[in-house]
Amino acid sequence: MPLITESDYRAPRWFKNRHVQTIFPTVFRRVSSIPYRRERLETPDGDFVDLDWSQCGHPRVAVLLHGLEGHSERKYMLGMVRALNAHGIDTVSLNFRGCSGEPNRKLHFYHSGFTADLHTVVQHLDRMSQYQTIDLIGFSIGGNQTLKYLGENRPALSKKIRKAVCFSVPIDLSACAKKMDEPPQAIYLKRFLRMFKEKIVQKRRQWQGADDESLNLDGFEKIKSFFDFDNRYTAPLFGYKSAQDYYAANSSRQFLPNISVPTLLITALDDPFLDENCFPIELAKTHNFLHLETPRQGGHMGFVSKHAKGLYWSEARALKFLGTAPEALAQP
């Protein structure tokens, strides 16, 4: 069965702490910038998403989806792009609405289960005759979108979609929102709330004069949790009755049984962001397509390693699952 009981990831000596694993790559990892080619893709609802391409003339392409308030220049995105390009796969990095450096047109932006734009990108790739296969790679909420998409759109999935790899995914949004309320996660929560406020301020400037309570900043200082923010902003902006209603509709866990393409979900047991409900062990034991790997360490999207080719373990592991590299490459 696809449950991988023994991961081969071993954290280096100084990276056994979950918070060090989570923070170090963001702050200290050095990855050369990718010479992206940007494409603006119009969406069916009159908005747009910006795609960043890294093309080397390969017949395969991977769609990369970043994490919360991320973008195509994050270290984990650049590292994965570099690894895929070097081993026979072109990449297109999807910047979520409002995350490409320019505000999107609509009042709303994106959320953790917003799969419409991923579907638009896949349809776009389907129309491009140069690509024979499509792989999907999602990080954190980008992984939640990926898993939800694979499970909710099974009858309509492109036949070109071959495999998917997802890292550190909050497949139970409600449980993870509660997890982020715990004291050890305070530093991360504070950073995210600051970023969320900046996005609302940006939207207010863009929609100046619009009479819309969904952008009201009065009392924002009272927002102390993901639940508070999602209840006040995310849910009403997207037509949900409450944060809990939004979480229930968009957690990818409920869609996992319907996945019908080989999919690797990698979640470290020490991930500080994720609740125990994010480890679908019993499902993976009987699932024909969901491969679950749970390294003992790795933090949230960490998986630091000293690979000879400059790869992090997560990148080497993705290459191995996608079948683009020799077995030895996956070893840290």
DSSP string, 48-97: EEEEEEE--S-SEEEEEE--TT--TTSHHHHHHHHHHHHTT-EEEEEEPT
**Residues 188 and 313 occupy one common structural domain:** no
Residue 214 a catalytic site member: no
DSSP string, 240-264: -SSHHHHHHHH-GGGGGGG--S-EE
Domain's final residue, options 215, 250, 285: 250
pLDDT at 97: 97
Q: In angstroms, how far is CA 32 from the centroid of its own chain? A: 21
CATH assignment at residue 155: 3.40.50.1820
pLDDT at 203: 87
What is the DSSP pairing of strand 90-95 with strand 290-293?
unpaired
**Residues 282 and 160 occupy one common structural domain:** yes
**Residues 243 and 286 occupy one common structural domain:** no
**Residues 103 and 33 occupy one common structural domain:** yes
Of the residues 71, 87, 111, 300, only one is catalytic, namely: 300
Is 50 exceeded by the pLDDT of residue 73?
yes
Task: Copy the structure tokens of residue 14.
Answer: 């100084």
| Cα gap 144→139, rounded to integer Å | 8
% the chain with pLDDT above 70? 95
**Residues 104 and 192 occupy one common structural domain:** no
Q: How far is CA 292 from CA 3, 230, 278, 302, in A?
A: 5, 29, 11, 17
Radius of gyration of the chain (CA): 19
**Residues 48 and 62 occupy one common structural domain:** yes
**Residues 41 and 77 occupy one common structural domain:** yes
Sheet holding 60-65, edge to edge: 3-4, 290-293, 263-266, 161-167, 133-139, 60-65, 90-95, 48-54, 37-42
**Residues 151 and 133 occupy one common structural domain:** yes
User: Which comes out higher in pLDDT, residue 243 or 207?
Assistant: 243
User: What's the whole-model pTM score?
Assistant: 0.95
Residue 300 a catalytic site member: yes
**Residues 80 and 128 occupy one common structural domain:** yes
Classify burial at 214, counting beta carbons within 10 Å of its beta carbon; exposed 0-12, middle 13-18, buried 19 or more: middle
Domain's final residue, options 228, 250, 272: 250
Q: How confident is the model at residue 85 (pLDDT cuts 50, 70, 90)?
A: very high
Q: Where are the beta strands (DSSP E) in the chain?
A: 3-4, 37-42, 48-54, 60-65, 90-95, 133-139, 161-167, 263-266, 290-293
pLDDT at 159: 94
- Which domain does 194 fall in, by range? 174-250
**Number of domains into which the chain is organized:** 2
**Residues 23 and 147 occupy one common structural domain:** yes
| Residues contacting residue 21 through CB under 8 Å, at least 6 positions apart | 11, 15, 268, 270, 297, 298, 299, 300, 302, 303, 304
Q: Where are the beta strands (DSSP E) in 153-294?
A: 161-167, 263-266, 290-293
Domain's final residue, options 193, 220, 250: 250
Residue 111 a catalytic site member: no
pLDDT, one tens digit per residue, over 231-290 is 999 999 999 999 999 999 999 999 999 999 999 999 999 999 999 999 999 999 999 999
Of the residues 100, 112, 140, 251, only one is catalytic, namely: 140
**Residues 146 and 203 occupy one common structural domain:** no
What is the DSSP pairing of strand 263-266 with strand 90-95?
unpaired
Classify burial at 95, counting beta carbons within 10 Å of its beta carbon; exposed 0-12, middle 13-18, buried 19 or more: buried
**Residues 150 and 280 occupy one common structural domain:** yes
Task: Copy the structure tokens of residue 205.
Answer: 């400037």
| Residues contacting residue 180 through CB under 8 Å, at least 6 positions apart | 188, 189, 192, 225, 226, 273
pLDDT, one tens digit per residue, over 6-52 is 898 998 888 999 999 999 999 999 998 899 999 999 999 999 999 99
Of the residues 271, 291, 305, 314, only one is catalytic, namely: 271
Please give the mean pLDDT across all residues of the chain: 92
